[in-house]
Structure 1
Amino acid sequence: MSRRLIPAALAYADGVPYAAAYGDVYHSADGGLEQARHVFLGGNDLPRRWRDAARFTLLETGFGLGLNFLATWQAWQSHAPAHARLHYVAIEKHPFAPDDLARLHARWPELAALSAQLRAAWPPLVPGFHRVLLDGGRVTLTLAFGDIADCLPQIAMAADAFYLDGFAPSRNPDMWSPQVLSRLHRLAAPGATAATYTVSAAVRQALAAAGFACEKRPGFGRKRDMLAARYAPRWPLPPARPEPARRAVVIGAGVAGSAVCARLAARGWQLTLVERHEKWAAESSGNLAGIAMPLLSRDDNIPSRLARAAFLFSTHLWQQLGGVGSAFAGEACGVLQLARDAGHAALQRETVEALGLPPDFARFLGAEQAAAMTGNPAAAGGWLFPRGGWVTPSSLCEAMLASCGGLLERRFAQQASSLRHDGSEWTVQGDGGACIARAPVVVIASGTNAASFAQTRELPLAAIRGQVTHIPAGELPSLPVVLCGEAYVTRPANGICCVGATYDIDTDPALRQSSQDENLERLAQVLPQTSMGKDRPLAGRTGFRAVSPDRLPLVGALPDPCAAIGGSRLSDVPRLPGMHAVLGLASRGIIWAPFAAELLASQLEGEPLPVERELAAALDPARFALKAWRRRNG
């Protein structure tokens, strides 16, 4: 789905925000906020429908400057129950830059507090889905930056209402095409409504074909009519999704399990966290520093798009927790990924230019700039990720678990040995069969230890050894950023810089000299001015990463290894009832964990997914079983 994103250009026509590319205004000349309230809220019978709602889900087909969203948010605060959650999904092909949004939003001072919060959380202008948490989590905005023809098929949601708000059909016919509007029925919840300012016959016909009954209503301002519609298809609808029990056992208190607890507790789930050690983050999450950075590729492939989504959501969530360096240890100091040589530097430069990446997300530094930043005169250049940095995983785990408050019960120093399902609940059993915890949902987030359960034994996860070397900060140059290349070098964490990490196919947990020597050799390649003898004492830490064959995590409902697969799609793979996983986070667990937890929580709640359908499918734990079935069946 990824295409180069072209931001909106701020312009005005007779004082009204105007899009020259479409020859149309962003809202009525008779008043933008008033139009939003009359056409979109009024046309969908809002806020009356919110009175008893626990959750309400909206889809807007053209976010523009965000005025419809801000008007809806303001009304939600005034009229929806305090415990209710609003999910607002919006598509925008040409998003505005934050400075332009500030100029536009200044026209409505009554929305200043809300618009400031929106701009503070505004994502960088890169394509894809962006999940933004607002109003203390009461409002979730999912922005799909891209063409509607690409984005709409990738949205997974059941919308209670639609705001159809593109530029006029005569100016932007692609947005109003029958092919686009016919997809709305796949995204509509029973009883969904839709509203738009246009009464075009072609739009009415397309909506009717999608199962909507349309009616004209008085329009706003100088427009005589507007359109309101209700989803009332002639075909039978699937049964309503049952509400989840909102009780779960999470196994594993590393970054994955802690993140799962945090994102489920944010939705009101009662949780029991089972951990075999006496403290959280005792295994691979116990390193002094984990690096937060995205992944770039010239073709913007699926791993790159997933890593970008994970990086952006995780850094956004950290701000919601209180910020890196405040709520938990770390620094948002930036990350510099050095090129290997001049040829690689040229490829890095071409990648940033071809993808059209904004400098607040990624930019290329030439050889001179990279040399000045690192003190390495041989540096060929590199990618600078200004939003990146490092985090102490155990401190992050502590902050995420603390955010759960009284919804979390910790059962540490207890080994989960087996899992049994009685038809309604899972029992987590310890040695000897004693019950540790029970719940309808169990989430396996125990990294390499997941293979100890019969239900997860066939998952293709490998344990990859990684040894990190610890070097006192005074022995290394003072770097302004985290440095990555043949090795990574962090800024000091408690006076220690971390260098590593090895990638070994063995199970030796002890520190060893050969691994330290390997780290120091790679350190010399990125910082040749640093001289480290091989006779220095061993210092560091060894951990084991859980890695899948395609190097992507496993997030979602687990396949039933004993049931036959009935077809060639992921939906044809039988699942274990109530059993889910966040596994295989490999070397990027610090950014994968919060994003994977948000995806899993959205799946469990039946919420709009925070990412494209094809990207969620790329993380489905059943993908390996399905590939094996396809090989066997031609």
Structure 2
Amino acid sequence: MRHALVLLDTDFDGARLRAACARHGGRRLHYIALAPRPIDASHLPQEWRAQWPPCVPGLHRMVSRDGLVTLDVLIGELDACLAQLSARVNEVHLAWVPPATAMLARLMVDGARLHAVHLDEAQRAALQKNGFVFDESRLRAVFYARRGDSEARVAPERRAIVIGAGVAGAAACERLAARGWKVTLVERHAQPASEASGNLAGIFMPQLSKDDNIATRLVRAAYLYSLRHWQRLGGIGAAFDGAQCGVLQLARDGAHAQVQRQIAASGLYPPDFARWLEAPEATAMLGCPAPDGAWWFAQGGWARPSSLCAAMLDACGTLLTRRFASSVLRLERQDGEWLVRDAQGGLIAAASTVILAAGTGALQFEQAAGLPLDAVRGQVTHLAEGSLPVPPFVVCREAYMTPAHGGIVCVGASYDADADASVRASSQHENIHKSADILGVPPFDAPLAGRTGFRCVAPDRLPLAGAVPDPGMPGRCERLRDVPRWPGLFGLLGYASRGLIWAPLAAELLACQLEGEPLPLERQLAEALDPARFLLRERRRAS
């Protein structure tokens, strides 16, 4: 598959986007636009308006219906946004000149073209100093990399093995197949989504914080990317089971509510993304007392992970080969390829790229045994419709409740540190007590019913998405790029309680890394997901 032309616009302009799409019609185009102020998207074509993000900071990726144009809009302060871009740019429209032009030069490929709206002599001199050679117009230039600075990329062999057929593995298959990769999916069970992804319902919603920290920004990026990605799959409730019915997240108590009011007063979150409700409005919506108020996430909701897995795998078409009921016991590296072998030593599959997406099951492989992942037990209770006065949207506080679907309300989930896979009465009582407390009804008894799954959790509760580190290779490490890696071995792990939304974005991130495409996240956020971050900290402490 031919690489896209990557174009950077330093101050988003709809007319420039339309012109670029027309000029490169029929070819793949990756258009990256910085957006320092709110954008009126009403004048853009419908395919962009339908995907347009709320005005919240971060990188927002959209894709045209035919898949030929990718539009990344990066909302925030211009210089900060430029510093966080991870891309190799072929062409730049310079509507704004960064104070440090080296930041711009860092992104350019050798021979990249520059088109400026206006340049003074000092700006032109700074650009020339960093490798830009201007023509007689003095507003157009070509970038020439310094000797040794240009990167020669070897096109990857588009053939991979994915181990694990939950939401992480299914998303990896879909994102790679969308780029023309042939993928072999290996799963020890006879069906996909047989572990934690087998729950009847998972909820999706953003996370808010007073300081808009890295975890909050990552969850926001994953949530918004997933909503757009699911549209392209065919839509929630159409391509897969679920409903974008909204999520009401109740404040825990008065002190928690006061922090939430401060977040709401910051103005960071527009109402179409997150709206704070004081007690009267929250009570009216819930239908019972909500004395401390609540957040309303209108775009949130619930989905059935197994049906989402099926939709993603179906989207792969003939590029996907399924090897189910196959227990992988070891990985061997031979002649530049990974060999995936079963319990008897038989060969299941071979490829130069392997992606571990089996949760804590990844730890059984020698190459990934050192990753700091834990299994956390989560029991979901299944209640018959009518057992609780559940509203037609998701409600959560210490527990969550989904609207009834197929006659069942899902309530949960427990958070336990044991390995008991049974459905037990104590966890059911805990779930019922928390949900009854939310709705202001007495706790009650119900037939023991539900499901137990095990979340895969990292110490910082963030996913691992990227190349797997090789701790057996000695050496001092100061930066992530210094950490030794297993060649061709990658992980999509540690999704904890947010697998529904982590899966699409983490898979897109890994696919972009493999293909050398612009990343769908700011550099700082991508680094926060690097599987080598724990080994780097360990070696820094030891040095």
**TM-score bracket for the superposition, by shorter chain length:** over 0.9
Secondary structure class of the residue paired with 1:450: helix
Partner of 1:556: 466
Partner of 2:475: 565
Partner of 1:11: none
Distance 1:177 1:538, change over 3 A: closer
Partner of 1:147: 77
Secondary structure class of the residue paired with 2:209: coil
Partner of 2:513: 603
CA contact (8 A) 1:178 1:206 kept: no
2:94 paired with 1:164:
yes
**One-letter code aligned to 1:101:** A
Partner of 2:525: 615
Q: Deviations over 1:133-165 (max 9, x none)?
A: 213322111111011110111101110111112
CA contact (8 A) 1:473 1:496 kept: yes
Shift of 1:235: 3.6
2:56 paired with 1:123:
no
Q: Deviations over 1:517-574 (max 9, x none)?
A: 1111111221113x3424x221000000000000000000000121113321111100
Secondary structure class of the residue paired with 1:417: strand
Shift of 1:353: 2.0
Secondary structure class of the residue paired with 1:561: coil
Greater alpha carbon shift after TM alignment, 266-275 vs 565-574? 565-574
2:31 to 85, 88, 111: 88
1:215 to 110, 135, 146: 135
Counterpart Cα distance in 2 of 1:253 and 1:631: 36
2:256 paired with 1:339:
no
Structure ranking higher on relative contact order (CA contacts 8 Å, 6+ apart): 2
Counterpart Cα distance in 2 of 1:515 and 1:603: 41
CA contact (8 A) 2:10 2:95 kept: yes
Counterpart Cα distance in 2 of 1:491 and 1:235: 61
Distance 1:599 1:53, change over 3 A: closer
Superposed counterparts of 1:275-294, under 5 Å: 275-294=187-206
Counterpart Cα distance in 2 of 1:541 and 1:245: 40
Shift of 1:234: 4.1
CA contact (8 A) 2:233 2:239 kept: yes
**One-letter code aligned to 2:316:** C
Counterpart Cα distance in 2 of 1:507 and 1:53: 48
2:123 paired with 1:197:
no
Shift of 1:630: 1.3
Shift of 1:75: 2.3
Secondary structure class of the residue paired with 2:498: helix
Partner of 1:132: 62
Counterpart Cα distance in 2 of 1:532 and 1:177: 60
Partner of 1:59: 8
Shift of 1:53: 5.5
Structure 1 segments unaligned to the other structure (5+ residues): 1-51, 106-114, 167-175, 218-225
Partner of 1:18: none
Partner of 2:398: 486
Secondary structure class of the residue paired with 2:256: helix
**One-letter code aligned to 1:619:** L
**One-letter code aligned to 1:546:** C
Per the normalisation by structure 2, the TM-score is: 0.98
Secondary structure class of the residue paired with 1:507: coil
Structure 2 segments unaligned to the other structure (5+ residues): none
Secondary structure class of the residue paired with 1:182: helix
CA contact (8 A) 2:338 2:354 kept: yes
CA contact (8 A) 1:199 1:216 kept: no
Secondary structure class of the residue paired with 2:24: helix
1:533 to 421, 424, 444: 444
Q: Deviations over 1:293-328 (max 9, x none)?
A: 111100000000000000000111000111000000
**One-letter code aligned to 1:73:** C
1:505 to 411, 414, 417: 417
Shift of 1:467: 0.3
**One-letter code aligned to 1:604:** L
Shift of 1:494: 1.8
Secondary structure class of the residue paired with 1:216: coil
2:76 paired with 1:76:
no
Counterpart Cα distance in 1 of 2:419 and 2:475: 34
Secondary structure class of the residue paired with 1:586: coil
**One-letter code aligned to 1:621:** P
**One-letter code aligned to 2:420:** D
CA contact (8 A) 2:357 2:491 kept: yes
**One-letter code aligned to 1:147:** E
Secondary structure class of the residue paired with 1:191: strand
Q: Deviations over 1:101-151 (max 9, x none)?
A: 32x45xxxxxxxxx1111111101000111112133221111110111101
**One-letter code aligned to 1:600:** L
Flag the structure with larger Rg.
Answer: 1
Secondary structure class of the residue paired with 2:37: coil
2:57 paired with 1:101:
no
Counterpart Cα distance in 2 of 1:323 and 1:282: 23
Secondary structure class of the residue paired with 1:276: coil
Counterpart Cα distance in 1 of 2:78 and 2:530: 25
**One-letter code aligned to 2:113:** T
Counterpart Cα distance in 2 of 1:601 and 1:445: 14
Distance 1:355 1:447, change over 3 A: farther
CA contact (8 A) 1:253 1:275 kept: yes
Counterpart Cα distance in 2 of 1:253 and 1:366: 42
Per the normalisation by structure 1, the TM-score is: 0.84
Counterpart Cα distance in 2 of 1:199 and 1:238: 26
Distance 1:157 1:378, change over 3 A: closer
CA contact (8 A) 1:418 1:428 kept: yes
2:538 paired with 1:628:
yes
Q: Deviations over 1:262-313 (max 9, x none)?
A: 1111111110000000101001000000111111100000000000000000
Q: Deviations over 1:189-215 (max 9, x none)?
A: 121111113242222112101101011
Greater alpha carbon shift after TM alignment, 131-140 vs 449-458? 131-140
Superposed counterparts of 1:208-607, under 5 Å: 208-217=128-137, 227-529=139-441, 531-534=442-445, 536-607=446-517
Distance 1:209 1:467, change over 3 A: same
Shift of 1:177: 4.3
Greater alpha carbon shift after TM alignment, 474-483 vs 464-473? 474-483
Q: Deviations over 1:425-452 (max 9, x none)?
A: 1111111111101111000000121111
Structure 1 vs Structure 2 CA RMSD: 1.4
Instruction: Give identity over the alignment, percent.
Output: 51
Counterpart Cα distance in 2 of 1:61 and 1:177: 9
Counterpart Cα distance in 2 of 1:582 and 1:233: 34
Partner of 1:4: none
Shift of 1:355: 4.4
Secondary structure class of the residue paired with 1:256: helix
Counterpart Cα distance in 2 of 1:227 and 1:135: 34
Aligned length: 543
CA contact (8 A) 1:362 1:383 kept: yes
**One-letter code aligned to 2:444:** G
Shift of 1:216: 3.1
Partner of 2:107: 187
CA contact (8 A) 1:545 1:586 kept: yes
Counterpart Cα distance in 1 of 2:431 and 2:99: 58
